[in-house]
Amino acid sequence: YLCALTAVVADVVSKKEQMFTTMDQRRLLSKDVLVVAPWFMAPEDIAPPPITSSSSIPYIQWDDHHPIPHTFRYGAESKPDVKYNMTISSFAAMDVLLEHLCDRKHHFPNLKRVVVVGHSAGGQFVQRWALSSNSWCFGDGDQFAVNRWAETDLPHVRVVVANPRSFAYLDNRRYFALSDQAAEADDDEVSPAENDGTLTPFDKYQLRPPSAAEEDGCKEFNSYEWGLDENSEVPAPYFINNVQKLSNHGNVSSELFCRYASRDVVYLSGQRDVETLGSQICGQGKEDGYQGSSRRERSERFFAALQLRKSEVESCGRSGGNSTRVHDRHVVKNVGHDHGL
């Protein structure tokens, strides 16, 4: 009588055993809860021993170095298998897993809830997957996807985005200080790790597109995997194709926002996850594509941008304006960042 399932997408770790450390030490779970940990293998990983099965499907692997490290996290295509010369996006693989579970008619008739959790690189994975997936399991309705059954027959899906290094924004706006003085001002005597409020003084910042000079300093800031613009250096046909499908319904950015806003997404940030990170997107001093200096600050800025966008959208086919908050976000006290979680 499986009633709930949690799919855990872990951070990148050096050994398979590390991925399951926390699971091995977990408290006993109720018999009606199942925990699944997908393993997105890289060619460097040692393949598990053969499983006695009639299936001839090969193990799927994703490149761990090119064009950027850990390509599974942005929905890259897998490496072509030798026998069939076929590939699959890591996001499509998650869709397959999710839809197998959502098929209550044939597999889990009592399944009520599915929670997909990702931490660090796994957090990057689940945020971009929840943003771009067209899976009928989300129950978004016929406007966005073809559901096999009525929404009431689907288990509820929640996505938990924990401590990602970066986010895929839904438009080209980022938070910029209103002045150089505002950017340099630090009136709070509490250290960032002890601060239980916001790290960004939003009254001194504005959500806007970068100026021409700012964009010249970071031309990649809105290319995927950090925005919606196609990125020739990081090919992701699953994401680009799924986003473009929404163009049939009007403005892509607005339609994508409305669908994403309707999904149950929760963001978690460790209070002590405040290390200043190096720049992966563009040069030093650009806060990794103007997202913020630390994981916690990037999370609060992305969440704030969603709330502002919600206030600008009159209707998403639900209640518009400021009547509802988009998603939920929580700061977990006294928690830093651990890649082995």
User: Omega of the bond prior to 237 within 30 degrees of 0, cis?
Assistant: no
What pairs with residue 206 in β-bridges?
176
**Residue 141 class from Cβ within 10 Å (0-12 exposed, 13-18 middle, 19+ buried)?**
middle
For residues 264 and 159, is the Cβ–Cβ distance under 8 A?
yes
Contacts 24+ apart (CB under 8 A), 203-206: 204/177, 204/178, 204/179, 205/175, 205/176, 205/177, 205/178, 206/175, 206/176, 206/178
What pairs with residue 9 in β-bridges?
118
For residues 7 and 333, is the Cβ–Cβ distance under 8 A?
no
**pLDDT given for residue 242 in this prediction:** 92
**pLDDT given for residue 141 in this prediction:** 57
Which of 37, 42, 84, 74 has its CA nearest to residue 60?
42
**pLDDT given for residue 19 in this prediction:** 44
Which of 137, 164, 134 has its CA nearest to residue 5?
137
Radius of gyration of the chain, Cα coordinates, nearest whole angstrom: 20
Residues in the chain: 341
DSSP state of 72: G
Helices (H) and strands (E) in the chain, counts: 10, 8
Which of 228, 231, 310, 221 has its CA nearest to residue 265?
310
Longest dimension (CA), the chain: 67
- Stated as kind and residue range, the H or E segment containing 308 is helix 295-312
pLDDT by residue, tens only, the chain of 341 residues: 455 566 666 665 444 444 444 444 455 456 678 888 888 888 888 766 655 555 666 678 899 999 888 899 999 999 998 777 889 999 999 999 999 988 888 888 888 899 999 999 999 999 999 999 999 999 875 544 444 444 557 899 999 999 999 999 999 999 999 987 666 655 556 788 888 789 999 999 999 999 999 888 888 899 999 999 999 889 999 999 999 888 766 677 888 999 999 999 999 999 999 998 877 777 655 667 799 989 999 999 999 999 999 988 876 754 344 446 799 999 999 998 876 55
* Cα 76 to Cα 83: distance, rounded to the nearest angstrom: 20
CB neighbours (10 Å) of residue 92? 20
Nearest 5°: phi and psi at 252?
-60, -45
**pLDDT given for residue 77 in this prediction:** 95
* Cα 276 to Cα 335: distance, rounded to the nearest angstrom: 16
What pairs with residue 48 in β-bridges?
none
Helix, strand, coil share (%) of the chain residues, nearest 5: 30, 15, 55
**pLDDT given for residue 303 in this prediction:** 97
DSSP line for 253-282? HHHHHHHHHHSEEEEEEETT--PPPPPSSS
Non-local CB neighbours of 293 within 8 Å, separated by 6+ positions = 276, 277, 287
Nearest 5°: phi and psi at 244?
-65, -25
Helix (H, G, I), strand (E, B) or coil at 177: strand
**pLDDT given for residue 255 in this prediction:** 87
